């Protein structure tokens, strides 16, 4: 059983497991295409599969044909800084727009704000004309973040071809204090709280659903104590156990307060998650190959002939989707075996 970290305390257990009011209409519908877009929190989610597995199960056995794609990119900002290899953030935005157009999502889950909140004095973007503002202090940096995030939301909607039915905005989760030599995160958590509030307002403005991971993981009660048990590797990046708790918080804020009844088989659920992780590995190689410079960019004269192999991942991903569907069915049947 997952242990609740000290920073969350008893309030987390109550928030995650006490009854609540479900949303009027479930988020997920048959054949939904869910795309995760965001920073390190989103990219690392692909390694563990907890968020996707939780949504697959919570949707219920009648909601079939769900597909999930992770477009997270570590250290990405709302300007899409990290998505450009050698150019400006504009290159990264063009890349993301192309990805969204190709995937045609019906639901987009966005996760931004951690890096921005931690860098209000140092700066968090290379965007022309915005770099100095991002390092000018909390108020200026926060205003820049909100304006850029709105533009990002608009760009995603505009490039989806009208396919998007729902958007979900995640707040950053709190950081943890793990003791010296790692830094004290008290000041950063105060900044994250301000960014969380701004993201909540942005979600309301855009008729999007808001998931308050900061509150669910005890950020509002954070008083600087050392986390026990820690749910991050370094105070910032969540572990597999951390993602399991984040998944529960995600379900609760989306109105999925209780999982379907026939999901008690831990082996079957772990088998589903393993298939999801493998699909995520294959998809990463498809949309973001490690040797892209040699395949498509200025060194393609050396190995560009191998670019033809990238579409070969498509049938592998489709086959893995079939395995996910089969593993999901076994979860609901209570049978972990083939």
Digit-coded pLDDT (tens) for 85-104: 778 899 999 999 999 999 99
Structure tokens at 45: 């989610």
Distance CA 53, CA 68 (A): 10
State yes or no: pLDDT of 310 exceeds 90.
no
Distance CA 30, CA 25 (A): 13
pLDDT at position 160: 96
The CATH number assigned to the domain with range 9-260 reads 3.40.50.1110
Structure tokens at 220: 């509002």
In 30-174, beta strands by DSSP E = 33-38, 67-70, 107-111, 166-170
CA distances to 64, 100, 202, 216, 283 from 33, rounded to whole Å, are 11, 11, 23, 26, 14
Question: Which range (79-83, 261-265, 266-270, 310-314) has the least confidence?
Answer: 261-265
Distance CA 132, CA 109 (A): 29
pLDDT 10s digits, 114-131? 999 999 999 999 999 999
pLDDT 10s digits, 262-296? 555 788 999 999 999 999 999 999 877 777 654 44
Residue for token pair 């609901």: 332
Average pLDDT of the chain to the nearest whole number = 88
pTM, two decimals, is 0.90
Q: Do residues 55 and 66 touch, judged by C-beta distance below 8 A?
A: yes
Q: HSE of 299 in the Cβ direction (CA atoms, 13 Å)?
A: 7
pLDDT 10s digits, 153-188? 999 999 999 999 999 999 999 999 999 999 999 999
Longest Cα–Cα distance in the chain: 60
What is the pLDDT averaged over residues 303-329?
83
Distance CA 241, CA 2 (A): 7
Q: Do residues 136 and 178 touch, judged by C-beta distance below 8 A?
A: no
């Amino acid at each position: 059983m997952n242990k609740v970290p000290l920073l969350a305390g008893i309030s987390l257990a109550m928030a995650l497991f006490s009854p609540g009011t479900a949303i009027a209409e479930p988020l997920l519908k048959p054949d939904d295409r869910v795309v995760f877009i965001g920073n390190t929190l989103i990219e690392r989610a692909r390694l563990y599969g907890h968020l996707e597995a939780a949504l697959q199960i919570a949707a219920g056995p009648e909601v079939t044909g769900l597909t999930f794609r992770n477009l997270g990119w570590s250290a990405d900002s709302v300007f899409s800084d990290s998505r450009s290899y050698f150019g400006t953030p504009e290159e990264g935005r063009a890349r993301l727009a192309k990805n969204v157009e190709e995937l045609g999502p019906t639901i987009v889950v966005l996760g931004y704000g951690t890096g921005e909140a931690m860098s209000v004095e140092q700066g968090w973007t290379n965007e022309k004309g915005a770099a100095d503002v991002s390092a000018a202090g909390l108020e200026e940096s926060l205003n820049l973040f909100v304006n850029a995030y709105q533009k990002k939301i608009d760009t995603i909607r505009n490039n989806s071809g009208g396919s998007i039915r729902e958007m979900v905005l995640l707040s950053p989760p709190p950081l943890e204090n793990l003791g010296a030599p790692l830094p004290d995160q008290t000041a950063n958590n105060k900044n994250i709280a301000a960014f969380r509030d701004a993201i909540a307002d942005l979600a309301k403005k855009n008729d999007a659903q808001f998931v308050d991971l900061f509150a669910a993981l005890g950020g509002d009660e954070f008083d600087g104590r050392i986390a026990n048990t820690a749910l991050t590797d370094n105070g910032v990046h969540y572990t597999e156990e951390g993602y399991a708790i984040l998944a529960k918080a995600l379900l609760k804020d989306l109105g999925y307060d209780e999982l379907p009844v026939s999901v008690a088989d831990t082996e079957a659920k772990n088998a589903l998650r393993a298939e999801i992780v493998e699909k995520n590995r294959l998809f990463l190689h498809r949309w973001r190959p490690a040797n892209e410079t040699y395949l498509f960019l200025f060194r393609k004269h050396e190995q560009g002939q191998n670019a033809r192999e990238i579409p070969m991942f498509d049938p592998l991903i489709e086959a893995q989707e079939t395995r996910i569907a089969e593993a999901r069915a076994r979860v609901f049947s209570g049978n972990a075996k083939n």
